[in-house]
Structure 1
């Protein structure tokens, strides 16, 4: 459907692909002078930061449970959470905040306050903070996964409303996975406003991931030696075959020749640092690769249907006991998380990576020893 809408040039479905609102997660659509806020999605600039530290496994192996306790205590996980510590950042002086002033003073003030309150919080769903060990060198790595939080979600909702003739703050009608892409001409006033707002959300997501990594480094009393940091829900201006296009990646990692990326597996699987290859296959893929292992079971299938009045789930295929047994067997200290994020609901990452062996090379294989996520039964209105 996506390839039949608007000024499409081409598209890619990565090996971790699965259903997503208006564009598959793991999907890449390339447009000529158009941008798709529905393709970028609600979690604008969701992405990963991974850092190699100066520590070796031997230095922390006896205190991993205490480290994970401190991560869970110090960092805010969950929907709608505010950071206990206000984070001052020059992104709040970014001129792109003027976009929201054009929409209205109330919207500008409300969104800026929300952004300030939530900067440095992780959220729920599949968002995490991981402690990992390089399988070859025993180096300690840390990584996180989240995006632009409520600020990005409200930005996406607002521009989808404007593009469909509604007011920015209107309640949007019900959505379908089969919803046609919402497209905006990039050279229109609305297209320019969305593009600038998206970049502001991207800067916000980077600042949040930087802050959380700094907190974990502090807990470890470690120094950063090397980092990998990028988005996988975003729209980039890129040149392909000699012409500039808009490349919308929803749950897909940029992988231009030499470009580094972090690809996370499930809580009971490896993660990797990858580098894009200079190959014809990678060129045909618009220099895009996977962002994770990819779901094979929906949240409701895995955890059951939630009754928010009683706070109880019924009908799930995966039990808490099964999840805990799987992560314990893999050697992971788990904090938080529900069965909808258990290893059983994801593909094996190596199989997914093998499908992209012509486009990326694996530089580091990282085994998680600690995983921290929002607690089970967190209501998650943010779509990823």
Structure 2
């Protein structure tokens, strides 16, 4: 018998689905050559399709039978309608972010959620999206920059030093802060690099050298280190600070290349194991009862601790330059997932992708823009927002639109007139590319109390070197 009639198309016509089984059967038939008649082949193909177990003991078709008996990955179905969720500052939120949140609330694992007033469209969960799930973790629900956070050091130094020593402070930022691909020639060591996870989890082990080389530095984009004035306006505060004005350092950055690599690895892994409809594919999750889910949980927490270590080194360098120790420090993640409890005492996994934890009594920092104030806040513990608040002002322009539509000279004049000096940065981070921070804060009065403000004065961001020179 010449078996060249048994093509992939012929086998599919016998009722076999597209996939590996086609190749398995072609190999089996090719190896048989003239041993079987055409009618025998037709019979076996039909019988194999109907009862593959029978052929597990037949060496000729064993591999084909095993392939047919593998579990079929079915596309997971979303809920017909999204579960209810609260939207804060709805008038200022783009349609794309609302649609993304609605898709997230249709996930079978979704339990509750909220959309913060600074929300805008992202990948998977929108930036400013809060999603609580049951025993599941969504890597893109945490975000690519795992553990991205704010950190503020407050000094018992008069804010007049900003004008009196402006050039010194600018030089301090240039010499002691690194952004984007630029790192320190001699990075400091840190105990986080001694974590056993760098030995125990393969994907993390491969990232140790990158983590060691980038520690103490900041990412590009909207990340910054800046000097400014903190004003404490609440006499009763957990910082034990008197009302008044203080010199402060504020930084915003995350887990650098290590966090991005962890996010990409486990997102691909989740998508391979969690087959969702196209519109929800970036919301693929890992079950926390699985080895992969536990691995990601450990990796995420390591990335968060690493982000904190980077901030601490940034602030240590500034403290050395100032020759003073801070009298208070505040920090908080806003790209992370936490194990918390809902109103009924059930454990939930709360993803805050660009959202600030605002549980009752929890302190946090919500920055504005490079010219507008940021806010030191105390959470009210509002379960309607899943104990969350915004993580900043939120964009009203994409980076591309800002670059293409804003005028550099006008932006520069605006920043100068606000009494702010910027080292680095670009039009994509111009103040007018963001929402009005006062409107955002007004939309979340039920979520946080304001105990202080921070006004930027000297801002260092990622940018071309010609903008980094001291005048």
Q: TM-score range by the shorter chain?
A: 0.7 to 0.9
2:113 to 2, 6, 11: 11
Question: Is the Cα contact below 8 Å between 2:253 and 2:307 reproduced in 1?
Answer: yes
Which structure ranks higher in relative contact order (CA pairs < 8 Å, sequence separation ≥ 6)? 1
SS in 1 for 2:247: strand
Distance 1:154 1:284 in 2: 33
**Counterpart in the other structure of 1:318:** 406
Structure 2 unaligned runs (5+)? 1-102, 234-243, 466-471
Q: CA deviation at 1:376?
A: 5.1
Quick check: 1:182 aligned with 2:278? no
**Counterpart in the other structure of 2:434:** 346
After superposition, residues 16-95 of structure 1 pair within 5 angstroms as 16-78=118-180, 80-95=181-196
Which stretch of the first structure deviates more once superposed, 129-138 or 33-42?
Answer: 129-138
**Counterpart in the other structure of 2:248:** 141
Distance 2:394 2:200 in 1: 35
**Counterpart in the other structure of 1:296:** 396
Structure 1 unaligned runs (5+)? 167-175, 304-315, 378-384
Per-residue CA deviations over 1:66-113 (Å, capped at 9, x if unaligned) read 3123212321112x3322222211112212224433x5xxx62x3100
TM-score by length of 1: 0.87
**Counterpart in the other structure of 2:240:** none
Distance 1:258 1:125 in 2: 31
**Counterpart in the other structure of 1:262:** 365
Question: Is the Cα contact below 8 Å between 1:265 and 1:292 reproduced in 2?
Answer: yes
**Counterpart in the other structure of 1:334:** 422
Q: CA deviation at 1:322?
A: 1.7
**Counterpart in the other structure of 2:293:** 191
Per-residue CA deviations over 1:31-66 (Å, capped at 9, x if unaligned) read 011100011111000010011111111234222233
Q: CA deviation at 1:177?
A: 8.9
**Counterpart in the other structure of 1:375:** 463
Per-residue CA deviations over 1:251-270 (Å, capped at 9, x if unaligned) read 00001111000111111100
Distance 2:294 2:307 in 1: 20
Bigger helix fraction: 2
**Counterpart in the other structure of 1:286:** 386
SS in 2 for 1:4: coil
Q: CA deviation at 1:179?
A: 4.6
Q: CA deviation at 1:13?
A: 0.3
Per-residue CA deviations over 1:316-367 (Å, capped at 9, x if unaligned) read 1112212211111111111000010010101111110110001101110111
**Counterpart in the other structure of 2:258:** 151
Q: How many residues align?
A: 347
Distance 2:436 2:207 in 1: 38
SS in 2 for 1:370: strand
**Counterpart in the other structure of 1:253:** 356
SS in 2 for 1:325: helix
Bigger strand fraction: 1
SS in 2 for 1:199: helix
Question: Is the Cα contact below 8 Å between 1:26 and 1:251 reproduced in 2?
Answer: yes
Distance 2:421 2:282 in 1: 42
Quick check: 1:127 aligned with 2:223? yes
TM-score by length of 2: 0.71
Question: Is the Cα contact below 8 Å between 2:146 and 2:263 reproduced in 1?
Answer: yes
CA RMSD of aligned residues (A): 1.8
SS in 2 for 1:196: helix
Which stretch of the first structure deviates more once superposed, 365-374 or 293-302?
Answer: 365-374
Distance 2:411 2:425 in 1: 10
User: For the structure 1 residues 300 and 99, does the alpha-carbon distance in structure 2 shift closer, same or farther, using more than 3 Å as the test?
Assistant: farther
Quick check: 1:117 aligned with 2:220? no
Between structure 1 and structure 2, the one with the greater Rg is 2
Distance 1:246 1:372 in 2: 35
Question: Is the Cα contact below 8 Å between 2:271 and 2:285 reproduced in 1?
Answer: no
SS in 1 for 2:376: strand
